[in-house]
Copies of this chain bind each other. A is one copy, B any other.
Amino acid sequence: MTKPRTLEPEQWELWNSWMQAQRLLARELDRDLQRDYGISKAEFSVLVTLQRAAEGQMRVGELAESLGWEKSRVAHQLTRMENRELVDRIANRSGRRIGIRLTAKGRTAVENAILGHGDNIRRYFFETLTPEQAAAIHAWSRQVVDSIEARCGEGPAAP
């Protein structure tokens, strides 16, 4: 009566369904956002964060912190978005890049998208969940995020 050494078939099935559901859901939301408002999910996240900031501008580091993204990911995303003129890089007199700012185009895009995207998230996600399921997912998500971030954050702490 040894403990089974790997997952039960039904656990694999759950795991695969879950991964698949995530992917299909994200794809669906992304497609709708792209089709209706011409922006991607990643762009939406950046734009909505910038929009909440004073004057639509932030430091890149703040943005990364606020999104929970790595800074290199943010830099790449900003490069793409700058090419599409959704954001502007702010430089000081010496040319040093110092932060990022929403353009008029970016502001318009996010203002248009936010209601529709919220509705899509409601339709595709919240309306398929009971309030208890939603609460359970919320609790679980926070726990996962906290535990992973704790494990990553502990490394450079030892003097």
Contact = CB atoms under 8 A, between A and B. Distances in A.
A1 interface: no
Where chain A touches its partner, the secondary structure class is helix
Contact of A121 (B7, B122, B129): B7
A25 B133 CA distance: 20
Q: How many copies does the complex hold?
A: 2
Contacts of A149: 24
A119 B14 contact: no
Given A118-B7, A143-B128, A148-B28, A14 B133 contact: no
A115 B6 contact: yes
A150 to B, nearest CB: 11
A14 B140 contact: no
Interface residues of A, number: 43
A11 B136 CA distance: 13
Interface string A139-156: 011111100110000000
A18 B118 contact: no
Contact of A24 (B28, B125, B145): B145
29 contacts: A5-B115, A6-B115, A7-B118, A7-B121, A7-B126, A11-B121, A11-B126, A12-B118, A14-B134, A14-B137, A14-B138, A14-B141, A15-B121, A17-B142, A17-B145, A18-B137, A18-B138, A18-B141, A19-B26, A20-B68, A21-B142, A22-B22, A24-B148, A24-B149, A25-B148, A124-B144, A128-B140, A129-B140, A133-B136
